[in-house]
Amino acid sequence: MSTDSIAQIHSDRLKLKILEEITRQGPLTFARYMNLALYSPGLGYYSAGAYKFGVSGDFVTAPEISPLFSECIGRQCYQILQDLNGGNILELGAGTGMMAVGILKELKNNRCLPHCYYILEVSADLQDRQKTFLRKELPELVDSIVWINQLPTNFVGIIVGNEVIDALPVHKFKILNNVIKEIYVDNEKEKFVWKINDPSSFYLIQQIKNLGINFPTDYESEINLLLRPWIASLADALKQGLILLIDYGFPRHEYYHPNRNRGTIASHYRHYSHFDPLILPGIQDISVHVDFTAVAEAAAACHQLSVAGFIHQAGFLLNCGLTSCMTSLKNVVEHYQIAQQIKKLTLPTEMGELFKVIALTRNYHSSLLGFSNGNQIGRLSL
């Protein structure tokens, strides 16, 4: 896995910053390390200017695979906007802007555009790229697309996030002889190494116990302590409508399966996936699978949100008419290309089953299009 000299210099600068913090404060929780690696101003993976998405980046997301994905999201948005007699859309972390384009084109075709399409994007570099792309693709709609730096209030409509939760920093833990330990990041001869010690907080211990899992000894995994306040902030922002979250992960009993005893943390650099998040800080992605039971529990804890649906990505897309375009295709080559895109989005060996969709609603009680067949809320085991 080679890096160019400019990328390596960038990574070395962030590495030095993290090493200096370890020197001052001692070993870092993995959550702190992940936060610095991804979000350190000007240096973190999502804060700096390297291109991350698509063929020339580090990974490919569903909107880059096929515009059909975003069209299906648009159809779910259409249902909500129709039922609410209008409203807005807020996209959390818009990546290349591809999903925004697909959603808005679908809604424009159905004459049901939102009053405003908000994008909450933490990366200034990605904001600039999104603005350039959206102005090119949707010049007639640019005045209704607004970039914001914080969640709105009294929001009515749809909040959508594709592969957002997997980038929230997590704590790593290990079970040793039925005792909960935390896995930290330390400095050994100017290299990052793992270090096992007592947990950084009593709260962490309690949250691991609250998972209700009988862990075997020598079991390693991770837990997201930011998820509950993050979901609560979305609930506070939403007055009426839908929160739609798409990501890869499992219900809790699968997430913490005895055989998944080294956790789910993975890194991505130029389409090479591996399991060492301690190398190349700032120039490789670090992600973690989602415990969707924890998402549902966080929603329930708000007392404002209802869990309205949970389903495989394949089921959601098919419910939203993924294959409907196939009947109108006359060109054999185009038919083949679309068929390949559909396979990538839906096959169990591709994105179809690993990726899930969860729907959280507030003051909205209609059955949702994307969950009309195959809703699997029961798998969340609340």
CB of 279 within 8 A of CB of 256?
Answer: no
Give the three-state DSSP class for 113.
Answer: coil
Residue 27 has which token pair? Answer: 């070993």
φ, ψ of residue 73 in degrees (nearest 5): -60, -40
- Classify domain 1-382 by CATH number: 3.40.50.12710
Tell me how far apart the alpha carbons of residues 159 and 295 are, in angstroms, rounded to a whole number.
15
CA 334, 135, 241, 82 dihedral sign is negative
Tell me how far apart the alpha carbons of residues 238 and 202 are, in angstroms, rounded to a whole number.
32
Name the nearest CA neighbour of 242 among 121, 114, 342, 131.
114
Output the CA–CA distances (angstroms, integers) from residue 34 to 118, 264, 267, 310, in the order listed. 27, 14, 11, 28
pLDDT at 60: 82
Tell me how far apart the alpha carbons of residues 152 and 233 are, in angstroms, rounded to a whole number.
10
Give the three-state DSSP class for 205.
Answer: helix
pLDDT at 144: 98
- Mean pLDDT, all residues of the chain: 93
Query: What pLDDT digit, counting tens, does each position of 271-329 carry?
Result: 789 999 999 999 999 999 999 999 999 999 999 999 999 999 999 999 999 988 766 66
Domain boundaries, the chain: 1-382
Low-confidence ranges of the chain (pLDDT < 70): 1-3, 49-59, 326-330, 332, 382
pLDDT at 58: 61
Give the three-state DSSP class for 355.
Answer: strand
φ, ψ of residue 100 in degrees (nearest 5): -60, -45
DSSP state of 317: H
Name the nearest CA neighbour of 104 among 125, 127, 135, 132.
135
Name the nearest CA neighbour of 186 among 175, 196, 176.
196
Residue 210 has which token pair? Answer: 């609250």
Tell me how far apart the alpha carbons of residues 128 and 98 are, in angstroms, rounded to a whole number.
14
pLDDT at 55: 47
pTM, two decimals, is 0.95
* Strand spans (E) along 7-87: 28-29
